Amino acid sequence: MKKIDVLGVKIAHITNAEALEISKGLLNSEGVSKIFTPNPEIIMAAQEDTELKEILNSADLCTADGIGVVYASKILGEPLPERVAGFDLACSLLEHISHTGDGVFLFGAKPGVAEIAKAKLESKYPGIKVSGTRNGYFKDEDCHEIVEEINNSGAKLLLVCLGVPKQEKWIDKYKDSLKVSLCMGVGGTLDVLAGTAKRAPEVFIKLNLEWAYRFMKQPNRIISRGKALPQFLIKVINSKGEKK
């Protein structure tokens, strides 16, 4: 698989369809595989946090979640075919396992959210097996019990929705104790599935304007976090200059 280097984070050069095929393969492969879906904010965080950068680069699949990463690839002269958002990839995989009978464990978000997401998934993908749920607010000493709960559920797919970098670090720390086939760190996915957070309407997503929709909904959060995007693109331009 071709990868491109965006500020030291290796991103797969693939389409959504290819990402789904690779993910299906990982679900059926030996050992515990990991998928992360970095956006510009995560790549910026990885500049300061070398542990996070190493964890991202140890993934079996790291896709570009965010049009900012696609822009960066164009600046670097190695354009990615498209954005491969964690939410979309997770939904495609959930649909897939609703036909194969493999179970999914939903881990993360505030108490009650994963249970609502489970009910919504069961009506959206009839046949899906949600093997277990657990909220994402816990103490370090609870982790052993959480791992046991996930393992006892028999789930093959584990969605870890604890926000960045908590989910990446949790997956990395416990991967050797887990018996699932595939872990995905997919942030706010459970909130969107449950309907406690809304994704942008299709037209915004198609036009790559999901960020604009979020801005309208949460201006303060985006203003404070949104500074990362110009800083990210400037850093990418500088990194290109350094490579020459």
CB of 199 to ligand UDP, least distance (A): 13
| 8 versus 188: smaller Cβ distance to ligand UDP | 188
Q: Could you count the other beta carbons within 10 Å of the beta carbon of residue 113?
A: 23
Residue 132's DSSP bridge partners are 105
Q: What SS3 class is residue 129?
A: strand
What are the tokens at 232?
């990210």
What are the tokens at 237?
């331009």
Of 93, 162, 182, 193, the one binding ligand UDP (CB under 6 A) is 162
- Applying CB under 6 A, the span of 50-58, 118-126, 184-192, 210-218 interacting with ligand UDP comes to 184-192
What's the burial of 120, exposed, middle or buried (CB within 10 Å: 0-12/13-18/19+)? Answer: middle
The answer to whether 69 touches 122, Cβ cutoff 8 Å, is: no
Of 108, 114, 185, 199, the one binding ligand UDP (CB under 6 A) is 108
- Applying CB under 6 A, the span of 23-31, 52-60, 121-129, 161-169 interacting with ligand UDP comes to 161-169
CB of 159 to ligand UDP, least distance (A): 11
CA-to-CA dists, residue 227 to 93, 166, 171, 221, 230, angstroms: 32, 21, 28, 10, 6
Of 110, 173, 206, 217, the one binding ligand UDP (CB under 6 A) is 110
226 in contact with ligand UDP (CB under 6 A): no
Of residues 164 through 183, those in contact with ligand UDP by CB under 6 A are 164, 166
Exposure string for 173-201, b = 16+ CB within 10 A, e = fewer: ebbeebebbbbbbbbbbbbbbbeebebbe
- Applying CB under 6 A, the span of 4-12, 20-28, 106-114, 177-185 interacting with ligand UDP comes to 106-114
Query: Which residues are at the interface with ligand UDP (CB under 6 A)?
Result: 108-110, 136-137, 161-164, 166, 187-188, 190-191
